[in-house]
């Protein structure tokens, strides 16, 4: 095989044997590369610019794996909608850890590549639509400047997948700084062997938080650092109106990257209770609940890590509780600063919180579009759309204009700030739905057009693009399906 630039140095399989099972995959009769991420490929030091579709189809279906790949599936547990379950990669195979030319360690993993010892009753497969959704939304988050796992390729397998209906099958190749999840720690804690959880703590620190090596109280600091990463991540999601949809503990990484794009979507009209997942009847993972759920998940992480600490539990327990309780305080502070930046405020004054909430209340009552409202405000002039022809909004706008005068920088800087945090293009759910439907029927042009459109989400546009348009009432997609 040609040299594609892969350089594997896999360390995960040095963990105790409970953490993984080496696994094999079958041959795919008719693989077809549907989308390949040239930009990511180059960024991580791979050389695919001269390779043919056939080569890519064979590599990213697993028919022709590069040297150094030694497939395994990972064990983990998780609280799914609040209930603890033993899980594991039921349809994923890790290739190994690739080292980029600049020395960054990345997992490369297949999703939808067939059954594994953790598959339970599942078929181990994935449908084309959900894999392309993961590709689109993860690329969009990356372009928006939000920490995420990424998608290198999607290959259609030509095999039918049995779900509520028959769907075309696909395999996604995912790139992640690791696949260590809160659920990996819960799995380790459930092994009733202190050495197992201790080895995971050591491994995670070495891989993601090396500054903690040989530090006192490193376990407690690990909880704090993961907490801070998750605060930052959720604040970013809230900034762009992103709803993850399945924030189970197995879908939350220790690295702070967004992972496992299931029934996720960006909201159109602002609704703090918005849920897209068709199975989330209790609204557990609604937009506004995301910070609370993250905190709940982190408490599960802390409980697991505490089992690996030698010192007196009565001494460390209150400290760990303190860190988890701090989440709300740190989150509120960062969320307010973020919302302030969406309104061009460089620092917050006493009444700013009220100003922010008044706008959000108005938006909710008037079904204002989240993305469009903030982008329209980003010119700092009275916005044209009909929805703003409203007295309550006018009063709010005047107060905001006055407030902008207290900035210690020019109005132009405030405008630049707003335009750097308020995107004008997000992959709207109705467009994603149309793109996936076209792809399922063999037309991939809408997909490539959308991937180009979401490349520079903050860029000033000279003409209105169709991707900025809100869905018409008959185009609105109320639910997205896991499609697993
Ligand atoms: P997810 O909701 O995608 O995060 O998946 C939750 C768990 O179900 C994970 O352990 C997955 O590996 C497993 N899973 C999801 N879909 C399948 C499938 N088609 N076959 C086997 N396992 C699956
Ligand atoms: Mg998952």
Q: How far apart are CA 84 and CA 77, in angstroms?
A: 7
Number of residues that this document lists for the chain: 484
CB within 8 Å of 430: residues ≥ 6 apart: 471, 475, 476, 477
CB atoms within 10 A of CB 106: 20
Q: How far apart are CA 11 and CA 72, in angstroms?
A: 12
**What is the maximal distance between C-alpha atoms in the chain?**
68
- Report the nearest atom of ligand 1 relative to the CA of 484: 16
Q: How far is the CA of 83 from the centre of ligand 2 (A)?
A: 14
187's tokens = 């799995």
User: Cβ(123) to ligand 1 under 6 A?
Assistant: yes
Strand spans (E) along 131-256 = 150-162, 166-176, 242-243
pLDDT of residue 311: 80
User: Cβ(85) to ligand 1 under 6 A?
Assistant: no
User: Cβ(246) to ligand 1 under 6 A?
Assistant: yes
- For ligand 1, mutation pick of 21, 84, 122 (most atoms within 8 Å of CB): 122
Closest CA to ligand 1's atom 7: 87
* Sign, CA torsion 328/330/336/338: negative
Model confidence pTM above 0.85 = yes
233's tokens = 């991540």
User: Cβ(122) to ligand 1 under 6 A?
Assistant: yes
Domain boundaries, the chain: 12-179, 183-340
> Are residues 65 and 59 in contact, defined by beta-carbon separation less than 8 angstroms?
yes
> Are residues 158 and 29 in contact, defined by beta-carbon separation less than 8 angstroms?
yes
How far from 258 is each of 171, 231, 237, CA to CA, in Å? 19, 12, 9
Tell me whether residue 369 is one of the annotated catalytic residues. no
Q: How far is the CA of 81 from the centre of ligand 2 (A)?
A: 12
Q: What is the DSSP string of 90-154?
A: SSEEEEEEEEPTT--EEEEEEESB---TT-TTS-SBEEHHHHHHHHHHHHHHHHTT--B-EEEEE
How far from 26 is each of 114, 124, 125, 155, 205, CA to CA, in Å? 7, 11, 12, 15, 35
| CA 398 to centroid of chain Cα atoms | 37
Side-chain half-sphere exposure of 444, counting CA atoms within 13 A:
13
Measure the CA angle with vertex 145, ends 464 and 89; round to 5°.
115
> Are residues 193 and 73 in contact, defined by beta-carbon separation less than 8 angstroms?
no
User: Cβ(262) to ligand 1 under 6 A?
Assistant: yes
SS3 269: strand
> Are residues 109 and 92 in contact, defined by beta-carbon separation less than 8 angstroms?
yes
**What does each of the 484 residues of the chain score in pLDDT, given as a tens digit?**
899 999 999 999 999 999 999 999 999 999 999 999 999 999 999 999 999 999 999 999 999 999 999 999 999 999 999 999 999 999 999 999 999 999 999 999 999 999 999 999 999 999 999 999 999 999 999 999 999 999 999 999 999 999 999 999 999 999 999 999 999 999 999 998 999 999 999 999 999 999 999 999 999 999 999 999 999 999 999 999 999 999 999 999 999 999 999 999 999 999 999 999 999 999 999 999 999 999 999 999 999 999 999 888 899 999 999 999 999 999 999 999 999 999 999 999 999 999 999 999 999 999 999 999 999 999 999 999 999 999 999 999 999 999 999 999 999 999 999 999 999 999 999 999 999 999 999 999 999 999 999 999 999 887 768 898 889 988 888 887 655 5
Q: How far apart are CA 183 and CA 251, in angstroms?
A: 8
- DSSP 8-state code for residue 26: -
> Are residues 252 and 297 in contact, defined by beta-carbon separation less than 8 angstroms?
yes
pLDDT of residue 483: 53
């Amino acid at each position: 095989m040609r040299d594609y630039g892969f350089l594997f140095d896999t360390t995960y399989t040095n963990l105790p044997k409970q953490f993984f099972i080496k696994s094999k995959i079958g041959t795919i009769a008719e693989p077809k590369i549907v989308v390949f991420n040239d930009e990511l490929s180059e960024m991580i030091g791979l050389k695919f610019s001269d390779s043919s579709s056939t080569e890519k189809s064979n590599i990213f279906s697993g028919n022709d794996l590069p040297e150094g790949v030694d497939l395994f599936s990972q064990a983990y547990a998780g609280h799914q909608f609040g209930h603890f379950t033993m899980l594991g990669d039921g349809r994923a195979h890790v290739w190994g850890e690739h080292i980029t030319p600049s020395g960054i360690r990345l997992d490369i993993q297949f999703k939808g590549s067939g059954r594994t010892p953790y598959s339970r009753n599942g078929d181990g497969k994935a449908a084309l639509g959900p894999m392309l959704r993961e590709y689109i939304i993860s690329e969009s988050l990356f372009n928006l400047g939000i920490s995420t796992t990424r998608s290198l390729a999607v290959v259609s397998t030509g095999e039918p997948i049995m779900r509520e209906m028959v769907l075309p099958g696909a395999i996604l190749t995912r790139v992640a700084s690791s696949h260590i999840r809160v659920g990996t720690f819960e799995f380790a804690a459930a092994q009733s062997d202190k050495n197992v959880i201790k080895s995971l703590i050591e491994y995670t620190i070495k891989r993601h938080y090396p500054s903690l090596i040989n530090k006192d109280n490193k376990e407690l600091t690990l909880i704090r650092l993961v907490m801070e990463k998750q605060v930052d991540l959720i604040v970013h999601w809230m900034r762009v109106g992103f709803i993850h949809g399945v924030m189970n503990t197995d879908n939350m990484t220790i690295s702070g990257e967004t992972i496992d794009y299931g029934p996720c979507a960006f909201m159109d009209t602002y609704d703090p209770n918005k849920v897209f997942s068709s199975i989330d009847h209790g609204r557990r993972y609604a937009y506004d609940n995301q910070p609370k759920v993250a905190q709940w998940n982190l408490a599960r992480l802390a409980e697991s890590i505490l089992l690996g600490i030698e010192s007196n539990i009565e001494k460390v327990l209150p400290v760990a509780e303190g860190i988890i309780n701090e989440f709300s305080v740190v989150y509120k502070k960062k969320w307010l600063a973020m919302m302030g930046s969406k309104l061009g405020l460089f620092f917050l004054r006493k009444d700013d919180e009220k100003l922010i909430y008044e706008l959000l209340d108005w938006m909710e009552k008037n079904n204002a579009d989240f993305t469009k409202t903030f982008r329209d405000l980003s010119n700092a002039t009275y916005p044209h759309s009909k929805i703003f022809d409203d007295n309550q909004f006018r009063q709010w706008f005047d107060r905001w204009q006055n407030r902008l005068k207290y900035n210690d920088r020019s109005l132009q800087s405030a405008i630049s700030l707003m335009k750097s945090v308020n995107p004008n293009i997000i992959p709207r759910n109705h467009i994603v739905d149309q793109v996936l439907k076209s792809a399922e029927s063999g037309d991939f042009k809408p997909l490539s057009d959308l991937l180009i459109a979401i490349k520079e989400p903050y860029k000033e546009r000279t003409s209105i693009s169709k991707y900025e348009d809100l869905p018409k009432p008959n185009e609105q997609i109320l639910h997205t399906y896991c499609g697993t």
